[in-house]
Structure 1
Amino acid sequence: MVSSPDGQYLAAGSVVFDLKNKRGICLESDGNGKTIAVASIRNGGTAYGAVQESETADVTAAAQLDLNTPTGEAKVLETGTDVPLLHTADGAAVFLTRNGDKGLTLAVRRPAAHS
């Protein structure tokens, strides 16, 4: 289960709830699309997740979703794109990746400071 830092959005796997607007979005395959499991959600409704190509396949692509649309409009990201593990209230994103020797790398990306 993941939530946006402000608590407006809550997701469990492929089901997302917008608690402020009292609506839900199901990202489970309906035969026309692919199932997307939500990994993290930013304040404002941008979410990141993993696309499952088929019920028997592993995760094969990362996706970005707009939870402000009725269907959680998704776009597939470039191959090899890492999605954030979580987002913080100040806009930072936390990434966890496995490097070549199977070790883990934890990285925090902070938003650029505005002048």
Structure 2
Amino acid sequence: MFIKTLAAACAAGLVATTAMAQDKSDWPSEITIGTASQGGTYFVYGNGFAGYISEALGVNSTGEVTGGPVQNVTLVETGDHLMGLVTMGPAYDAWMGKSELAPGLEHRSIR
């Protein structure tokens, strides 16, 4: 039983070491997350998530105050931000090309 446990621990360590040694050359040097107004829920979540990304992945990440979901989805589509917090209503409108900020532009880069 001890040998099986030891073998499992060694295998887990090998997998973890391999994952940590992966090539990160194509990773962004920094990530900007579109939030919303300061003090709101998106601001708190976005900055918290940015802190987690920085700590867990070692990529400098920050939350940025924006006009909210409608602006965030357009900032991601245009490449100004890598991530942005958005609700389904503005995301759907942007996907269909009915965004207030970019009418006629179908936001197909969002996920």
| The two structures share one fold, judged by TM-score above 0.5 | no
- Larger relative helix fraction: 2
Structure-1-length-normalised TM-score = 0.25
- Larger relative strand fraction: 1
Q: Which one has the largest radius of gyration?
A: 2
Structure-2-length-normalised TM-score = 0.26
